[in-house]
Structure 1
Amino acid sequence: MGYSFAPGDIAYLGSVAGSAALAAVAELDLTAASQLRDVALVRRTYGDRAPALIETVRLRRRAAGKLSGAQDWLLTDEALQQATPTLVARHRARRLAGRDVHDVTCSIGAELAELARVCPRVVGSDLDPVRLAIAHYNLIRPSPNPICAGSLTAGSRGPRPRGAAIEHSPDPPKAGQKIQLVRADALAPCTSGTVVVADPGRRADGKRTHDPAALQPPLPDLLSAYAGRDLVVKCAPGLDFDRLDWDGEVEVVSLDGGVREACLWSAGLREAGIARRATVLTSAGAISTLTDADPDEIPERDPGEWIVDPDGAVVRAGLVRHYGARHGLWQLDPRIAYLTGDRLPDGVRGFRILDRCVLREKVLRAELRRRDCGRLEILVRGVDIDPDVLRRRLKLTGSRPYTLVITRIGSAATVFLCEPSRP
């Protein structure tokens, strides 16, 4: 669960002395190999402040590939886990540009930072005073003067925060006319005329939950509290939104191939005629959008030259046929999300069909041995098979990479032996 920050920790970390201490601790490796030495050094130097300093440096390193500007932020472990990646928050902010917005579960301010760039006024509220203090530090504090902090060690400088660099925005908005922070219950409206944004907590009893009633605050209560208001609710992508009584839009968003969230947009915020949307983002800045208003007519044909596994956002949004129609593809089976065609969409990874086999281990083992297979990717839909168990049982000893696509066509399990378009 990580270190539990207290208000005194935030006051110290946000001070000139705390900033200097953080800069010094950031010079240390803090790896498994250096753990005992580094922690002992920080404790000798900073005493009771050591846990907060070490945790903050570690969290900043973890956040480097997720949150823009996180190298200067204060964070908590739980808040970082649930924080929306900057590029996803930026996409949502673009849809809300020009509106006054109230984030009723603002936490440490990751969403507010992006909203404040395009919205005339933003309000953030939370019940947790520590998270509110962190949000104030992250968003409203004046930029500190550069501090020459030196190093805790006489040796080489440790690595800078780890993780893939992401696109950085300008410095966070400063001082107060655009951002207001208040302590308030998310279920007790305290603004009017604003678009309400909420991100309910997705853990119950320490475990991740997909039950709308188990979210914090519960999703049904949230929808009731803001009935008739323009409302945006971020949910886990595993939420069964088909069972919700929701007359707005559901947008499923992925980033670099990983599905990040399902976002509920109330009826007043959705585009006319659209109930489902898939948005595919990349760190390189590409954005692709598909909706249920797009054509979905695709032919029924035998498998083509390629198999395509659509992005998870497309699958979760129920827009596989729409994706196929856009790219000249068709389904292997109308109940399965794999698509097939004679060419790949630009920039999409696919699998060239080499052979079609029956699902028998002896037959597969012999064919893979004949083809000198040594590395095997196994994709499964519609068939109850554990890819890791099957891979071990096939006893691969060769050198070439292949892909098995195992799926159901009609009532029969079918295996396609494929060559991936790229590793």
Structure 2
Amino acid sequence: MERAELVQLLSPEGLTLLDSLPRWDSKADVVKTVAELRKQGHPPALVEAVLSQSRLRTRAEAKFGEFARRMLFTEAGLEQATRLKVAALHAGRFSRAGLRHVADLGCGIGGDALAFAAVDLEVTAADSDEVTAAIAAFNLTPFPHAHVLHAEATQVPLGGIDAAWLDPARRTTAGGTTRRLSDAADYSPPLDFAFGLAERMPVGVKLGPGTDRDVIPADAEAQWVSVDGDVVELAVWLGALRRPGVGRAALVIRGDSAHELVAAADSADAPTGPLGDYLYEPDGAVIRARLIGDLARANGAWMLSPGIAYLTADTAFDSPFARGFRVVERLPADERQLRQALAARGIGTLEIKKRGVDVDPAALRTRLKLRGEASATLVITREEGRHVALLVERL
């Protein structure tokens, strides 16, 4: 978003027009909507700005719920913003640690700062981008104890501040296109600065879930978080924000429930063995946290093959940390024979899951030439090193 566009949006006319628009519908006739707004006398630049913002507000509902209807966003800011239910957990950790004033350094559009302010923490938020900082200030308007600075994270005065939260920018926008940064060295602020703050105060740092584990400080708690099956972040906690004895954690949020698997360090893998009556797919947060072995041992399960994140057991178990399947039957791993087996069973709709094999599920589904009324789930993986194809049903 350009500065001129933001000025248009923040005008009384802009905000009134934006709030008057119905919820964005991608199937609506945008050309007709533009024509109607122009006919009402609104300038072209303002019309473009409010329609763009209306689209972002609708996308933001997945992260901010009903609050999205009263917020402003940028494309990159929304992509990196923390989901509100996860931000609330961040805020709770600061509050339980007895910290009262938090610096949100690299606050983006203010998602985490909103959660901090909502639990009565004093917040000093800062962003290096002028437009983003202005949007954060708008979003934090309901909270008089939240203040936003247009400043580099490394330049924010920290006197009187108890703790810091950093969400380093992992995306860059150029020519209207947002690109994810793959090298942690390119993040803003740099990770050396973020982790270095822990020498002065308790610190929490939000990173992408696929961040190279080598950058995690040895004295940190690393917590991978998944929401409804998607791993959304790696939170690194240092100082008083780290829980005693916890070095690795997998927080699994589904709907309104949250469950956590914790350990002092990466768990050793469970032994491997032959396929049992049940197959289990650990949640992505458990996989990222390398706690599959602990999950297996707690439930009498074992690994199907070394280094592959499937567990198997002879007895069914219920766990928030894994999705379970009953093994219906083995099918031939050979593609031609597999096609014949599926045709014989009248399977026309097939979900294909795979681990440890070089298979493109979409391409394979096409080659299988499925016909029939039945639907099924197929797992293609390895059993003690050998390719297997398993027909399974969800528990």
Aligned to 1:64: 61
Contact 1:189 1:226 in 2 (8 A): no
Higher strand share: 2
Select 2:258's aligned residue among 278, 287, 291.
287
Q: Which amino acid aligns with 1:371?
A: R
Does 2:82 match 1:84?
A: yes
Contact 1:405 1:417 in 2 (8 A): yes
Does 2:261 match 1:260?
A: no
Using the alignment, how far apart are the partners of 2:269 and 2:171 within structure 1? 40
Q: Which amino acid aligns with 2:278?
A: W
Deviation track 1:24-67 (CA, whole Å, cap 9, x = no partner) reads 3x137654551111112223331131111111111111111211
Indicate the SS of the match to 2:252: strand
Deviation track 1:323-346 (CA, whole Å, cap 9, x = no partner) reads 223333322124211012221415
Q: Which amino acid aligns with 2:16?
A: A
- Closer, same or farther: CA 30–308 of 1 in aligned 2, 3 Å: closer
Aligned to 2:180: 208
Contact 2:102 2:164 in 1 (8 A): yes
Does 2:345 match 1:345?
A: no
Q: Which amino acid aligns with 1:22?
A: L
Spell out the pairing of 1:179-258 with structure 2 (5 A cutoff): 179-192=146-159, 193-204=161-172, 206-224=178-196, 227-258=199-230
Q: Which has the higher contact order (CA 8 A, sep 6+)?
A: 1
Deviation track 1:346-372 (CA, whole Å, cap 9, x = no partner) reads 566422112224420122112111211
Spell out the pairing of 1:70-149 with structure 2 (5 A cutoff): 70-97=68-95, 98-99=98-99, 100-140=101-141
Aligned to 1:276: 248
Select 2:16's aligned residue among 15, 20, 24.
20
Contact 2:216 2:222 in 1 (8 A): no
Using the alignment, how far apart are the partners of 1:119 and 1:384 within structure 2? 51
Which structure 2 residue ranges, 5 or more long, are not aligned? none
- Closer, same or farther: CA 29–91 of 1 in aligned 2, 3 Å: closer
RMSD: 2.4
Using the alignment, how far apart are the partners of 1:281 and 1:187 within structure 2? 33
Using the alignment, how far apart are the partners of 2:14 and 2:28 within structure 1? 26
Indicate the SS of the match to 1:401: strand
Contact 1:401 1:419 in 2 (8 A): no
More deviation in 54-63 or 11-20? 11-20
Aligned to 1:382: 356
Contact 1:407 1:414 in 2 (8 A): yes
Using the alignment, how far apart are the partners of 1:120 and 1:344 within structure 2? 41
Deviation track 1:242-283 (CA, whole Å, cap 9, x = no partner) reads 454442011100111111011111144212221110001123
Indicate the SS of the match to 1:66: helix
- Closer, same or farther: CA 12–35 of 1 in aligned 2, 3 Å: closer
Using the alignment, how far apart are the partners of 1:96 and 1:327 within structure 2? 33
Indicate the SS of the match to 1:65: helix
Aligned to 1:409: 383
More deviation in 307-316 or 210-219? 210-219
Contact 1:329 1:339 in 2 (8 A): yes
Q: Which amino acid aligns with 1:49?
A: L
Q: Which amino acid aligns with 2:75?
A: D
Aligned to 1:41: 36
Offset of residue 70 of structure 1: 0.8
Contact 1:101 1:119 in 2 (8 A): no
Contact 2:269 2:292 in 1 (8 A): no
Select 2:48's aligned residue among 51, 55, 68.
51
Indicate the SS of the match to 1:210: coil
Using the alignment, how far apart are the partners of 1:318 and 1:76 within structure 2? 34
Aligned to 1:169: none
Q: Which amino acid aligns with 1:78?
A: A
Contact 2:279 2:310 in 1 (8 A): yes
More deviation in 30-39 or 261-270? 30-39
Contact 1:383 1:407 in 2 (8 A): yes
Offset of residue 301 of structure 1: 4.5
- Closer, same or farther: CA 121–23 of 1 in aligned 2, 3 Å: closer
The TM-score with structure 1 as length reference comes to: 0.83
Offset of residue 208 of structure 1: 1.3
Aligned to 2:373: 399
Contact 1:202 1:216 in 2 (8 A): yes
Using the alignment, how far apart are the partners of 2:212 and 2:269 within structure 1? 26
Q: Which amino acid aligns with 2:291?
A: L
Select 1:335's aligned residue among 295, 307, 313.
307
Contact 2:197 2:203 in 1 (8 A): no
Using the alignment, how far apart are the partners of 1:36 and 1:300 within structure 2? 60
Aligned to 1:311: 283
Spell out the pairing of 1:155-174 with structure 2 (5 A cutoff): 173-174=142-143
Deviation track 1:129-153 (CA, whole Å, cap 9, x = no partner) reads 222221222112xxxxxxxxxxxxx
Contact 2:331 2:341 in 1 (8 A): no
- Closer, same or farther: CA 269–130 of 1 in aligned 2, 3 Å: same
The TM-score with structure 2 as length reference comes to: 0.89
